[in-house]
């Protein structure tokens, strides 16, 4: 006795949809089962994305709540639009002013070998 690796599923569709399914299967040289499996995978992806969007829509207002939330959880940024340009400003001019090379770890051994500027004893 052989064990099937797939399972038969039966369902009904309107006659016009059955005709369209037959036509598409013939055009693509695929079986109706292959078409159904692909359609179902596409639907599952759509469903997952839709649920993620619903989660964002449900959770976003909770994250952007009143100041009481930030007093309890001070690390939550409530999304102040005014603060955004300030935090996005380039750091290169300030880094250069304090003699920091961007992209280098100041705690690395190579940074420790850098000669320190000599202080004047006057």
**0.85 exceeded by the pTM?**
no
What's the N-to-C CA distance of the chain in angstroms? 99
Q: What is the pLDDT of residues 63-118, one digit of tens each?
A: 676 566 566 666 555 555 445 455 545 556 666 666 666 555 555 555 555 555 66
pLDDT of residue 88: 46
Residue with tokens 């099937």: 4
pLDDT digits 0-9 by tens, 21-37: 999 999 999 999 999 99
Q: Which residue has the higher pLDDT, 98 or 19?
A: 19
Average pLDDT over residues 32-50: 95
Rounded-to-integer distance, Cα 107 and Cα 17, Å: 67
Q: Rounded to whole angstroms, how far apart are CA atoms 10 and 20?
A: 17
Query: In angstroms, rounded to a whole number, what is the distance separating the alpha carbons of residues 23 and 34?
Result: 14
- On whether the CB atoms of residues 63 and 76 are closer than 8 A, the answer is yes
Question: What pLDDT was estimated at residue 56?
Answer: 85
């Amino acid at each position: 006795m052989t064990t099937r690796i797939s399972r038969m599923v039966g369902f009904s569709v309107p006659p016009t949809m059955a005709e369209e399914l037959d036509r598409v299967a013939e055009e693509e040289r695929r079986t109706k089962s292959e078409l159904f499996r692909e359609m179902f995978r596409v639907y599952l992806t759509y469903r997952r994305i839709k649920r993620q969007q619903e989660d964002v829509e449900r959770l976003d207002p909770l994250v952007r709540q009143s100041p009481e939330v930030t007093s309890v959880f001070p690390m939550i940024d409530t999304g102040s639009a005014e603060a955004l340009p300030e935090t996005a400003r380039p750091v290169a001019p300030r880094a250069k002013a304090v003699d920091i090379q961007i992209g280098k770890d100041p705690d690395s051994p190579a940074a420790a070998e850098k000669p320190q500027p000599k202080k004047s004893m006057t």
